[in-house]
Chains A and B, each alone.
Chain A
Amino acid sequence: GAGVSQSPRYKVAKRGQDVALRCDPISGHVSLFWYQQALGQGPEFLTYFQNEAQLDKSGLPSDRFFAERPEGSVSTLKIQRTQQEDSAVYLCASSPPGTYYEQYFGPGTRLTVT
């Protein structure tokens, strides 16, 4: 079946622009996670949803980062006033009920802020 999809796959933004990154999880997966992966590093947790409820946003690096999942399926990660340090791959993952650790990752969005 279809896996997790993310769009766009690549995004170049000028410093100060706002960006919106989209994630379509696997159908039936109630849990959805966002991670940020810098070059040469492991993924760093940003935020977690169970259905439409954002249960943990402790990893969001600043109030410029905002995530939503209004109908419990598609999620959007928005970054306002992008900075160079926001350049990274943004990964979305979803997991089936009862197995939070078996996270299925999308291909990621590579964000470059110039």
Chain B
Amino acid sequence: RKEVEQDPGPFNVPEGATVAFNCTYSNSASQSFFWYRQDCRKEPKLLMSVYSSGNEDGRFTAQLNRASQYISLLIRDSKLSDSATYLCVVNWGGGGNKLTFGTGTQLKVEL
């Protein structure tokens, strides 16, 4: 079983839609959680950290459920420019500064 699991998609949504991605992680000792974004044939970039209380950054909302070992990312009012692969990322502390990436969920926002 992979340490970080995501539905690979693709999720095809119309512009303006709300879309949610989920991610589960297997190591209950995991301490820190992030979402990275990767455009096609480009490098990953940090989108946002995920805090236990949930956090929002503009149209993006991240949630963490430690009991279920589950992370989510909600995107409201989708834009064409949101089309990318969204990578769920976990650091379990005991592994030092190593980040463990999920496979990624592909989002395509269409007119």
Question: In this assembly, does A43 line the interface, its C-beta being within 8 Å of a C-beta of chain B?
Answer: yes
Given contacts A40-B8, A42-B87, A101-B34, contact A107 B98 (CB under 8 A): no
In this complex, the interface size class of chain B, counting residues with CB under 8 Å from chain A, is 20 to 34
Whole-angstrom distance from the CB of B14 to the nearest CB of chain A? 25
- Contact of B101 with A101 in the complex, beta carbons under 8 Å: no
Question: In this assembly, does A18 line the interface, its C-beta being within 8 Å of a C-beta of chain B?
Answer: no
- Contact of B43 with A105 in the complex, beta carbons under 8 Å: yes
Q: How far is the CA of A35 from the CA of B89 in the complex (A)?
A: 13
Q: How far is the CA of A108 from the CA of B96 in the complex (A)?
A: 23
Q: Which of B18-59 contact A (CB under 8 A)?
A: 32, 34, 42-46, 49
Instruction: Report A30-59 CB contacts with B as 1/0, cut-off 8 Å.
Output: 010101000011111100101000011011
Q: Which residue of B lies closest to A107 (CB)?
A: B43
Interface residues in chain B, defined as those with a beta carbon under 8 Å from any beta carbon in chain A: 4, 8, 32, 34, 42-46, 49, 87, 89, 91, 95-104
Q: List 29 A-B contacts (CB under 8 A).
A: A31-B97, A33-B99, A41-B103, A42-B4, A42-B87, A42-B101, A42-B102, A43-B87, A43-B101, A44-B101, A45-B99, A45-B100, A48-B96, A50-B97, A55-B96, A55-B97, A56-B96, A56-B97, A56-B98, A58-B95, A58-B98, A101-B34, A101-B91, A101-B99, A103-B46, A103-B99, A105-B43, A105-B45, A106-B43
Interface residues in chain A, defined as those with a beta carbon under 8 Å from any beta carbon in chain B: 31, 33, 35, 40-45, 48, 50, 55-56, 58-59, 91, 95, 100-103, 105-108
